[in-house]
Amino acid sequence: MLTLEKLQIVLDGFTLDADFQLEQGRNLALIGPSGAGKSTLLNVIAGFLPPASGRVLWRGEDITALAPGKRPISMLFQDNNLFPHLTVAQNIGLGIRPDLKLNAAEREALNDALTRVGLAGMAERKPGQLSGGQQSRVALARVLVQRKPLVLLDEPFSALGPALKHDMLRLVGDLMQEIGGTLIMVSHEPEDAQMIADVTSVVAQGTVTAPKPTAALFENPPRVLRDYLGS
């Protein structure tokens, strides 16, 4: 269970409030207008940005003051965050061990992740020798090998075409199910939310709404979501 307890985020005159719980094993989509605070909320949950007030709890434990690396979280950033001077395999290996001294089982996990994202033959390439979509698949593989129980995705697959994006989303969904993990995904596309998120929160007007079942929410959208969807 992830608890955002009376969380308030303040940035240069921008404020965002969140106060809800997310059960373990749920896939949550965050949807809402540009600049509403979706990325900022992920950054607070991941520990890159402190909240002005309130707490973040994971399984009842207060993690508000924990450093990002100490949290049970892995995050896939909008820009993929790959190291250009390292190979694909090394970029992924960093998710397993920062010193890259991998044992046989860890190397096998790395190869498995490469295969799962469809990059089996590209282990020795540098990110600059890959397309944008391939780079985002490397970043996804790095998230897969970490096997953290809480995964945060910030509009992860926007560089991919629709078919590949759906494959990647499905892969993330399957993995989360396999490890009983919890997913929070920022998306601009209602179809993405409907595909893998069982619950959705709307981020708009300074507030994050509590997660609601995705299908029901889109069938009968509240005013803020209707405004966003333009319907």
Ligand X SMILES: Nc1ncnc2c1ncn2[C@@H]1O[C@H](COP(=O)(O)OP(=O)(O)OP(=O)(O)O)[C@@H](O)[C@H]1O
Q: Which is nearer to ligand X, 11 or 100 (CB)?
A: 11
State the Cα angle at 34 between 33 and 36, rounded to 5°: 70
83 binds ligand X (CB under 6 A): no
Minimal distance in Å, beta carbon 169 to ligand X? 18
Residue whose structure tokens are 């992830």: 2
Nearer to ligand X, 77 or 110 (CB): 77
176-to-143, 151, 159, 202 alpha-carbon distances in Å: 11, 8, 22, 22
Q: Which stretch binds ligand X (CB under 6 A): 10-18, 58-66, 167-175, 212-220?
A: 10-18
36 near ligand X, judged by CB under 6 A: yes
Q: Is 50 in the site for ligand X (CB under 6 A)?
A: no
Surface-to-core class of residue 204, CB atoms within 10 Å of its CB (0-12 exposed, 13-18 middle, 19+ buried): buried
**Contacting residue, 38, 116, 137, 142, with ligand X by CB under 6 A:** 38
* Among 200, 134, 198, CA closest to 168: 134
Candidate segments 29-37, 64-72, 121-129, 194-202, binder of ligand X by CB under 6 A? 29-37
Count CB-CB contacts under 10 A for residue 82.
22
Distance CA 88, CA 72 (A): 24
Residue of the chain from 4, 18, 27, 39 that contacts ligand X (CB under 6 A): 39
Type of residue numbered 217: L
Contacts to ligand X by CB under 6 A: 11-12, 14, 34-40
